[in-house]
Structure 1
């Protein structure tokens, strides 16, 4: 299971300025509510690592948040400055 690849894939399916929810990623990788809910923390952790590399940006509302803050409240994932073009 490659969480980073799934984040990139889902973001590529959307408009360049669109965002995804971490639960979109978890649901794409797991079947059943219990299974995808169990993936939420690994998805948040992967998102934080990707944000540290500028592949994605993590937001709460319109505010960009530090990758270390992904455990607090709802977040969205957006393409970052180093998002792969292909």
Structure 2
């Protein structure tokens, strides 16, 4: 829920600024780059003791169309977990990014 420019406790303006600088808008690869930048920035803002949801990143770049970005956001989170940038958990258990998983996940910066 947004209040005074803050979404889920994150500074949406900051995320938008970082995403705009780090990714080419409008290109097919641009969405992946934007999601990657948003996930990393949001997770860094939260810190290693807290988590974010993939929907936080999707909302940050997708506006009203954020739901269309959810599969991509989860895929990018999986890639970031493979490279060791984040860890993905479900119900408090860290997930292996190379194993199949379904359902709600949380993302934590490493």
TM-score normalised to the size of structure 2?
0.65
Gaps of at least 5 residues in structure 2 are 1-30
Is residue 2:66 matched to residue 1:39?
no
Structure number with the higher helix fraction is: 2
Computing the radius of gyration from Cα coordinates, the structure with the larger value is 2
- Residue 13 of structure 1 and its aligned partner are, at CA, apart by 1.4
After TM superposition, list the pairs within 5 Å mapping 1:3-42 onto structure 2.
3-32=35-64, 35-42=65-72
2:104 match: 74
- Counterparts of 1:46 and 1:70 in 2: how far apart (Å)? 15
- Residue 16 of structure 1 and its aligned partner are, at CA, apart by 2.5
Residue-by-residue CA offset, 1:49-77 (whole Å, 9 max, x unaligned): 00000100000011011214565010000
TM-score normalised to the size of structure 1?
0.82
Count how many residue pairs are aligned between Structure 1 and Structure 2: 78
- Residue 14 of structure 1 and its aligned partner are, at CA, apart by 1.3
Gaps of at least 5 residues in structure 1 are 81-86
SS in 1 for 2:49: coil
- Counterparts of 2:106 and 2:100 in 1: how far apart (Å)? 10
